[in-house]
Amino acid sequence: MKFSKFGNRFTRHTGARQLMDDLGAAMTSEEPVMMLGGGNPAHIPDVLQLLAERTREVAGKPREFRRMIADYSSPVGEDRFRASMARLLRREYGWPLGPEHIALTGGSQSGFFQLFNLLAGKFDDGSFRQILLPLTPEYVGYTDLGLAEKLFVSNRPIIEFLDDRLFKYHIDFKGLDVADDVAAICVSRPTNPTGNVLTDAEVRQLADIARARKIPLILDNAYGVPFPGIIFQSVEPVWDDNVILCMSLSKIGLPAVRTGIVVAHPDIIDAITGLNSVMSLSVSSVGPVLLHDLVETGQIINLGRDVIRPYYHTRADQALAWMHSALDGCEYFIHRPEGAFFLWLWVPEMSITCDELYQRLKKRGVFVVPGHHFFPGLDEDWSHKHECIRVSYSQQAESVHRGISIIGEEVRNACR
């Protein structure tokens, strides 16, 4: 079958696609697997119970239930939820915004497809503009989102070595070239895959650069503050009308519901409304109705702070201890886990690439993500790209523990 340019571009079997197929196959495999690969959040009992109660409550109120399933929302997303979200952000952080600053999308990923292709790519005047990722490693999901090739330009980080075989990436501001054809700057905070949390100073500096250059700063807040709040230290949530803040209900525990939230200048919101309306008529109201009361009362922030964050913080400490123990005696480094739910393992002296390590681990039933996928837009040859893997610690503790032990064995084999 012959496909269009668009078809060929979006259906090519990229590394990311291969990875997803592997993960999919693993999920349905008869063999026991240790799933340290995907981005699925944990099943936190208190959260699931709360959501199940709320679901029963909605099902028992005909008007709420109709709102959740039986009426198309406006293309910009369910209005009551957007109004409550605006009130919450205004009340908690003093951000000067209303519902006109908030759009919903069918998950964060759809939002990024829309935003990146709206702001960058080919322009009517013949110019071509790019999205700048000021720090790689950065989220693999961005990689193939461009309707045009070469949508991203990106930078190496500065590496700060810390105690206890930990390290931290920083933005190399001196090496940051915000060329004229940069349409927007984008960072995830916490960073998927590394668990890095950009410092408040770094974010402020990026925001200043963006404002001075009259381009938006896109903050991918899938794991961050104000919710789901998976950041293990105190940091400032950031928004102003030059920032496009992207949030999601997935990491609260609703990945199968597909609700993304974009907080931005009304011009951006208006564009997303148009895109939603043409590309999908409207977005789901399931997440907005299920979580409305939590947003209206502000309880969604407490849920992150009191339940979700402590849960993952404990899991992070545990996974880190297991990893140190599994790799004891090797030459390795781990990015300091500051948020999200991944360990980013760096083994500089492996005799194989991380892709080969991934293959060997897969054979032993352990699924991780090889690090070289996480450098979208960084075309230069840099050995570091092939020396890292992403290890999720969100799944069952026993499985994570066993998986990390096997990672230890395979890394040892690869360092001999």
User: Which CB, 115 or 354, lies closer to a second copy?
Assistant: 115
Q: Segment contacting a second copy (CB under 8 A): 44-52, 84-92, 173-181, 337-345?
A: 44-52
Provide the β-strand partners of residue 217. Answer: 185, 243
Residues 136-175 that bind a second copy (CB under 8 A): 141, 144-145, 147
Q: Does 120 bind a second copy (CB under 8 A)?
A: yes
Q: Does 390 bind a second copy (CB under 8 A)?
A: no
CA distance 50 to 303: 10
For the record, the structure tokens of 64 come out as: 């709420």
Interface segment toward a second copy; rule CB under 8 A; list 56-64, 90-98, 201-209, 402-410: 56-64
Residue 189 and residue 8: Cα distance in Å, rounded?
A: 32
Contact status, residue 297 vs residue 75, Cβ threshold 8 Å: no
Instruction: Give the footprint of a second copy on residues 214-233 (CB under 8 A).
Output: none
CB of 195: closest distance to a second copy in angstroms? 20
Q: Tell whether residue 113 is a contact of a second copy (CB under 8 A).
A: yes
- Please select the residue that binds a second copy; options are 10, 172, 240, 298, rule is CB under 8 A: 10
SS3 content of the chain, % helix, strand, coil (to 5): 45, 15, 40
Among 46, 71, 160, 379, binds a second copy (CB under 8 A): 71
List the interface residues with a second copy, window 260-319 (CB under 8 A): 265, 267-268, 270-271, 274-275, 277-286
Work out which of 66, 91, 150, 204 binds a second copy, going by CB under 8 A: 66
Q: Does 67 bind a second copy (CB under 8 A)?
A: yes
The dihedrals phi and psi of 241, each to the nearest 5 degrees, come to -75, 5
Q: Least distance to a second copy from the beta carbon of 67, Å?
A: 7
Instruction: Name residue, tokens 């949508």.
Output: 151
Residue closer to a second copy, measured from CB, 89 or 268: 268
Asked if 48 interacts with a second copy (CB under 8 A), we say yes
Q: Which is nearer to a second copy, 69 or 179 (CB)?
A: 69
Distance of CA 250 to the CA centre of its chain: 10
Phi, psi angles (nearest 5°) of residue 59: -65, -25
Among the listed ranges 102-110, 299-307, 360-368, 379-387, the one in contact with a second copy (CB under 8 A) is 102-110
**Cα 402 to Cα 35, 83, 411, distances in angstroms:** 10, 46, 14
Residue with tokens 């999205």: 131
Q: In one letter, which amino acid is 54?
A: R
How many CB atoms neighbour CB 176 within 10 A?
Answer: 15
